[in-house]
């Protein structure tokens, strides 16, 4: 498999320079090639495990509890407006 | 005084041989004197620590008994600490001040601990060297030209250098045991879900396990008893009752069945490491333990499984760092984080899920089944923690999978969510520590701690125990 670094960087929203693109291309391709080894393991009819201790459907009562107030929630943001987080527009105007 | 272990410090405080303020000052002055050489702390919280120590002294005077009352502890910088900068050693979080405490931090505070500061780590816990920290590498207290291991390298180095009485680390696959091994201290990786992950800056959410790094096995048991337990804020925590770990149940060594696997003495293993571990196993055999050779799933496949699962989960977990709610923008990620995010993004992208993440989760099932089979025959498995001694600074340069490769012997047990402990078993001729790991089934911390504690007692008068790092 060949990894397409500019495409993956775009999906991951990571800014990378031309120089980084070349280094990462080589390094990530090494990793992709390395893990190919796993294909040697027969996993026919094997169920995947995502939760190692076997817990399922852990729920709690649906009750409200004290949480961060607005000031605390906004305290680490570089960009706020009237008590809200300010973000860049993601939809373009017609 | 800062050289005391947790149990000794507790006794000294109780007997009023010294106060918590004195003990805390002893640790702080050791940090001030020597941490410029080690770089084991990202942030030292001197004022908060002294305030907490004063409060602890007052409580001690009132005869209040709490498990960690007045004990100075260092915490890895990926645990959120209310009002104290928490960076995960990444510039993305350079000025991030959490508005809440991680459950582990809350439990430490509720137990009366004094928090000395936040320790250095591989940025985002991505690595096994502490060399990928955006705040510079931590050095190994036994040889300043060498790495402490990682990612909890700051906690391990600070504990070995007696900057603290004990410390807290976190392990995804090796990040407690491996630096403990390279720094010559005890490191306990609890079963997945034994200790809450709430408020820990997430790396691989199906693997992350917070745990103690200490000077003795008993200290690790005392800390685990404080840290363990179900947490409503982490749905993966176990509902099993917290055992009295600090009582150290006494497993009869004569009925102990130890499993060893030749696959864990891999090609290229340092011969001094191999000799010391085999010698240590012999000592347990002399005490009556039965040693059985077992066949385990080849650990080399664990590297692939771990690389895929961890990097996929990293790409998902680090997606939240968008520079909007907290932290700086994505341009502040350093190379290792970028590599892991990009590989994970690739492996999870449309059309590749089955080939990578699903395949890795299937092999994970095989690894779990394989351990289950082994634990039908033996009680614990013993192996080297790391195939090498502490490596020189710069070892990670150009090695795009350094972390995953260095942790080959701890990855399988992490993937299966097992518990394990590193204990020191001696030194190389060059004066570097060698560590042995004891791995037990899920939730067998009592057994693992018991055997580790008995080994420690058996060997407490050996000459190498007198070695002290010169910093």
Within an 8 Å CB–CB cutoff, is residue A70 touching chain B? no
Tally of CB atoms within 10 A around B397: 8
Longest Cα separation, chain B: 66
Spell out the domains of chain B, with CATH numbers in brackets: 6-466 (3.90.1300.10)
**Residue B141 in contact with residue B157, Cβ under 8 Å?**
yes
Residues of B in contact with A37 (CB under 8 A): 300-301, 304
B423-455 tens-digit pLDDT: 999 999 999 999 999 999 999 999 999 999 999
**Which residues of A1-93 form beta strands (DSSP E)?**
80-81, 84-85
Task: Give, to the nearest 10 degrees, the angle between helix B217-227 and helix B445-458.
Answer: 160
**Which residues of B are catalytically annotated?**
76, 151, 175
Q: Cα–Cα distances in Å, from B143 out to A7, B153, B166, B387?
A: 43, 14, 21, 18
ipTM beyond cut 0.90: yes
A68: in domain: no
Question: What is the mean pLDDT of the segment spanning B2-24?
Answer: 98
Q: DSSP secondary structure string, B318-352? A: GGG-SSSSSS--GGG--HHHHHHHHHHHHHHSTTT
User: B55 or B250: whose pLDDT is higher?
Assistant: B55
Closest residue of chain A to B417, computed from CA coordinates = A52
Total residues found in chain A within this entry: 94
How many structural domains does chain A have?
A: 1
Residues of B in contact with A30 (CB under 8 A): 400-401
A33: in domain: yes
Q: Cα–Cα distances in Å, from B417 out to A47, A55, B54, B317?
A: 17, 13, 39, 19
A9: in domain: yes
As to burial, measured by CB atoms within 10 angstroms (0-12 exposed, 13-18 middle, 19+ buried), residue B231 is buried
Strands across the sheet containing B433-440: B41-44, B114-119, B72-76, B166-171, B209-214, B186-189, B419-427, B433-440, B380-384, B257-260, B290-293
Q: Which residues contact B431 (CB under 8 A, 6 or more apart)?
A: B142, B143, B467
Cα–Cα nearest to B128, from B310, B278, B265, B261 = B310
**Residue B248 in contact with residue B449, Cβ under 8 Å?**
yes
Give the dihedral sign, CA B325/B331/B336/B342.
positive
C-alpha–C-alpha distance, residues B406 and B400, integer Å: 12
**Residue B319 in contact with residue B300, Cβ under 8 Å?**
no
Contact A28 B305 (CB under 8 A): no
A44: in domain: no
**Residue B161 in contact with residue B403, Cβ under 8 Å?**
no
Q: How far is CA B23 from the centre of its chain?
A: 24
Residues of A in contact with B400 (CB under 8 A): 27-28, 30-31
pTM of the model: 0.97
Q: Mean pLDDT for each consecutive 10-residue tract of chain A (94 residues)?
A: 94 95 96 95 96 93 92 95 90 73
Within an 8 Å CB–CB cutoff, is residue A16 touching chain B? yes
Cα–Cα nearest to B222, from B381, B380, B6, B8 = B6
Checking if the pLDDT of B101 tops 80, the result is yes
Within an 8 Å CB–CB cutoff, is residue B91 touching chain A? no
Cα–Cα nearest to A38, from B139, B357, B288 = B357
pLDDT value, residue A94? 61
- Between β-strands B419-427 and B186-189, what pairing exists: parallel, antiparallel or unpaired? antiparallel
User: B299 or B39: whose pLDDT is higher?
Assistant: B39
Checking if the pLDDT of B249 tops 90, the result is no
Question: What is the mean pLDDT of the segment spanning B328-332?
Answer: 95
B176-231 tens-digit pLDDT: 999 999 999 999 999 999 999 999 999 999 999 999 999 999 999 999 999 999 99
B36-48 tens-digit pLDDT: 999 999 999 999 9
Nearest CA of chain A to the CA of B132: how many Å? 16
Within an 8 Å CB–CB cutoff, is residue B416 touching chain A? yes
B339-391 tens-digit pLDDT: 999 999 999 998 999 999 999 999 999 999 999 999 999 999 999 999 999 99
Contact A77 B96 (CB under 8 A): no
Cα–Cα nearest to B72, from B114, B105, B103, B42 = B114
pLDDT value, residue A88? 85
A62: in domain: no
Within an 8 Å CB–CB cutoff, is residue A67 touching chain B? no
* Residues 198-257 of chain B whose Cβ lies under 8 A from any Cβ of chain A: 206, 232, 235-236, 238
A14: in domain: yes
**Residue B404 in contact with residue B178, Cβ under 8 Å?**
no
Checking if the pLDDT of B462 tops 70, the result is yes
B411-426 tens-digit pLDDT: 999 999 999 999 999 9
A84: in domain: no
Range of the domain at A9: 5-37
What is the token pair recorded at B201? 């800056």
A80: in domain: no
Checking if the pLDDT of B401 tops 90, the result is no
Mutate: best of B206, B304, B337, B352, partner A, most A CBs <10 A: B304
Residues of B in contact with A83 (CB under 8 A): none
Question: What is the mean pLDDT of the segment spanning B308-321?
Answer: 97
Contact A35 B307 (CB under 8 A): yes
pLDDT value, residue A13? 96
Residues of B in contact with A35 (CB under 8 A): 304, 307-308, 356
Nearest CA of chain A to the CA of B229: how many Å? 14
Contact A49 B97 (CB under 8 A): no
**Which residues of B191-277 form beta strands (DSSP E)?**
209-214, 257-260
């Amino acid at each position: 498999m060949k990894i397409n670094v500019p495409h993956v960087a775009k999906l991951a929203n990571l800014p990378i320079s031309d120089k980084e693109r070349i280094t990462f291309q080589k390094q990530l391709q090494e990793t992709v090639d390395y893990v190919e080894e796993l294909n040697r393991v027969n996993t026919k009819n094997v169920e995947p495990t995502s939760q190692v201790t076997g817990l399922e459907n852990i729920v709690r009562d649906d009750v409200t509890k004290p949480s961060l107030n607005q000031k605390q929630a906004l305290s680490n943001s570089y960009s706020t407006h009237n008590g809200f987080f300010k973000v860049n527009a993601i939809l373009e105007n017609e | 005084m800062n050289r005391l272990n947790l149990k000794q410090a507790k006794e000294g405080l109780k007997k009023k041989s010294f106060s918590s303020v004195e003990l805390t000052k002893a640790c702080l002055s050791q940090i001030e004197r020597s941490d410029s050489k080690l770089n084991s702390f990202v942030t030292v919280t001197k004022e908060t620590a002294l305030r907490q120590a004063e409060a602890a002294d007052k409580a001690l005077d009132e005869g209040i008994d709490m498990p960690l009352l007045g004990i100075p502890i260092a915490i890895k910088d990926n645990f959120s600490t209310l009002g104290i900068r928490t960076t995960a050693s990444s510039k993305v979080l350079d000025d991030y001040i959490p508005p809440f405490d991680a459950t582990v931090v809350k439990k430490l505070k509720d137990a009366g601990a004094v928090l000395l500061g936040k320790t250095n780590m591989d940025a985002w816990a991505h690595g096994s060297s502490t060399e990928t920290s955006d705040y510079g590498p931590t050095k190994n207290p036994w040889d300043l030209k060498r790495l402490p291991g990682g990612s909890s390298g700051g906690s391990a180095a600070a504990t070995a250098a007696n900057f603290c009485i004990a410390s807290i680390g976190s392990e995804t696959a090796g990040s407690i045991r491996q630096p403990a091994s390279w720094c010559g201290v005890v490191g306990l990786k609890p079963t997945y879900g034994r200790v809450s992950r709430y408020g820990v800056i997430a790396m691989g959410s199906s693997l992350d396990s917070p745990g103690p790094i200490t000077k003795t096995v008993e200290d690790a048991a005392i800390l685990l008893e404080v840290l363990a337990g179900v947490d409503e804020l982490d749905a993966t925590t176990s509902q099993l009752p917290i055992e009295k770990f600090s009582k150290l149940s006494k497993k009869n060594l004569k009925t102990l069945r130890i499993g060893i696997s030749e696959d864990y003495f891999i090609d290229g293993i340092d011969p001094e490491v191999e000799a010391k571990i085999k010698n240590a196993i012999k000592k347990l055999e002399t005490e009556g333990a039965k040693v059985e050779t077992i066949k385990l799933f080849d650990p080399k496949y664990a590297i692939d499984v771990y690389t895929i699962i961890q990097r996929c989960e990293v790409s998902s977990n680090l997606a939240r760092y968008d520079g909007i709610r907290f932290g700086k923008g994505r341009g502040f990620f350093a190379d290792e984080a970028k590599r892991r995010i990009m590989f994970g993004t690739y492996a999870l992208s449309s059309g590749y899920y089955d080939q990578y993440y699903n395949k890795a989760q299937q092999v994970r099932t095989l690894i779990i089944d394989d351990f289950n089979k082994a634990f039908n025959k033996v009680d614990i498995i013993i192996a080297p923690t790391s195939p090498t001694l502490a490596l020189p600074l710069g070892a990670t340069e150009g090695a795009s999978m350094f972390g995953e490769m260095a942790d080959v012997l701890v990855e399988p047990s992490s993937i299966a969510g097992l518990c394990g402990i590193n204990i020191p078993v001696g030194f190389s001729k060059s004066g570097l520590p060698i560590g042995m790991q004891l791995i037990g089934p899920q939730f067998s911390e009592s057994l693992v701690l018991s055997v580790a504690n008995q080994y420690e007692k058996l060997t407490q008068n050996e000459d190498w125990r007198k070695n002290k790092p010169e910093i």
